[in-house]
Amino acid sequence: MAVHVLLKLTGPMDHLRLAWQTGETLLESVTFDEDPEGTRYNILLALQEMITNVLRHAYDLDENKPVEVSFGISEDGFEISLRDQGPEFDPLAHDTEQLASATDMPVEVGGYGIYIARLVMDELSWQRQDGWNCLRMRKNISVPAQVK
């Protein structure tokens, strides 16, 4: 990869801002064919939702547990990897089908972050590795990235 950035975060949910700003800065060097600003925002929204899920659900707002966010830019893609030590949870196994087909707001709250990530990213994968949940999200780039 042309660029790789790793954030190791602990502390209050205010650190979401650091992850957002890092992603935003890196995404400035990536050109997307269709709606570049909207695509960048959607990628950052997916990132924020996934980190929020970890902090709220896996860690029950415990600010002392680690979250690792890795960003990578290659010539053909922008990749985000998110790692946490929460209970084993495969977000890709979570059913968001009802959100995709709903005409009204669902009564049950939840699943929107996973739904958003599936909707806006081109590839998602998850694995449990050495006590860590590891989520990988990738957005393909058709115009080669220009690393500044």
Nearest CA to 31 among 71, 78, 79?
78
Q: pLDDT at position 105, please? A: 46
List of the chain residues with pLDDT < 50: 105-107
Greatest Cα pair distance, the chain, in angstroms, is: 46
Q: pLDDT at position 96, please? A: 61
Q: pLDDT at position 99, please? A: 55
Domains of the chain: 3-140 (3.30.565.10)
Q: pLDDT at position 106, please? A: 46
One-letter amino acid at 108 equals E
End-to-end CA distance of the chain: 14
One-letter amino acid at 47 equals L
List helix spans (H) across the chain: 15-27, 36-53, 97-101, 112-120
